[in-house]
């Protein structure tokens, strides 16, 4: 899937829109990325490194920016761990399952055991409906004819509607939610909180905002990356300059 180069001034794509507040980006049809809280700035990297010499700074200067560049270039990564981002994410369940493979972080997810799931499901835009060409490890994704894409959307909507109606009938009959949820497809939206430090965040971005990543999680990673760039601009610039690799 063609996605704008994330090294350009803005990595935002059409599926990402501003939310109601500066710490929210809307993603796809029913999703969002919210920066719920952050204890993160470039100065945290500087002070975590300079404590080796019993030095603490209150403000950044050019020497400190140079220090961050040195740390990132030489991959001295532990000073980038003394900070925290807490995100609130709403995404299709299949995106969340890929996301949760990044284990250096903390997750708490919406529970389909404890409450009834909403009937929000992911339907890709026409341009995001794609075919797979080749074999695993050496395949590409190609756009399909508009008629095929529209038919795919209709099929998804029909299947989602039928699956949710079955789920609703089971719940109405008193079937436990933890059993009834079994009929729900992975296109349903879930939500979770995700807390992570900058080093682990850069690892996530290097893998998920990358050409080989699935389109849907890559778009979410682009939204996350915007907040990282805002909070830690010097560290972020180094991340870009040194090949989008976590230290």
Q: Are 219 and 28 in contact (CB under 8 A)?
A: yes
Q: Are 15 and 223 in contact (CB under 8 A)?
A: no
96: region left, alpha or beta (phi > 0 left; psi from -120 to 50 alpha): alpha
- Write out the two tokens for 242: 């040194």
Q: Are 76 and 247 in contact (CB under 8 A)?
A: yes
DSSP code of 188?
A: B
- Write out the two tokens for 56: 């603490």
Ranges of H-type helices in 76-145: 93-99
- 208 is an active site residue: yes
Supply φ then ψ for residue 244, to 5 degrees: 55, 45
Question: Exactly one of 97, 208, 218, 244 is catalytic; which is it?
Answer: 208
Q: Are 186 and 231 in contact (CB under 8 A)?
A: no
116: region left, alpha or beta (phi > 0 left; psi from -120 to 50 alpha): beta
- Write out the two tokens for 204: 């996530």
Ranges of H-type helices in 26-77: 42-50, 62-74
Q: Report the C-alpha gap between 131 and 140 in whole angstroms.
A: 8
Which residues are known to be catalytic? Answer: 208
């Amino acid at each position: 899937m063609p996605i704008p180069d994330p090294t350009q001034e803005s990595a935002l794509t059409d599926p990402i829109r501003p939310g109601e507040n500066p710490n929210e980006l809307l993603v796809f049809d029913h999703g969002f990325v919210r920066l719920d809280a952050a204890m993160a700035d470039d100065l945290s990297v500087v002070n975590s490194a300079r404590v080796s010499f019993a030095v603490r700074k209150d403000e950044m200067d050019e020497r400190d920016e140079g220090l961050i560049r040195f740390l990132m270039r030489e991959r001295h990564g532990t000073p980038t761990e003394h900070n925290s981002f807490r995100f609130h994410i709403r995404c299709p369940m299949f995106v969340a399952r890929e996301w949760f493979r990044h284990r250096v972080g903390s997750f708490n997810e919406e529970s389909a055991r404890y409450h009834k799931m909403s009937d929000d499901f992911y339907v890709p835009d026409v341009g995001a409906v794609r075919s797979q060409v080749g074999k695993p490890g050496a395949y590409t994704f190609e756009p399909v004819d508009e008629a095929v894409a529209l038919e795919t959307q209709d099929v998804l909507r029909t299947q989602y509607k039928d699956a949710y109606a079955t789920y609703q009938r089971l719940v109405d009959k008193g079937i436990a939610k933890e059993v009834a949820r079994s009929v729900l497809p992975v296109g349903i939206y879930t939500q979770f909180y995700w807390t992570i430090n900058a080093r682990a965040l850069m690892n996530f971005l290097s893998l998920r905002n990358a050409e080989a990543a699935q389109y849907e999680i890559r778009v979410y990673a682009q939204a996350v990356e915007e907040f990282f760039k805002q909070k830690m601009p010097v560290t972020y610039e180094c991340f870009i300059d040194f090949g989008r690799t976590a230290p």
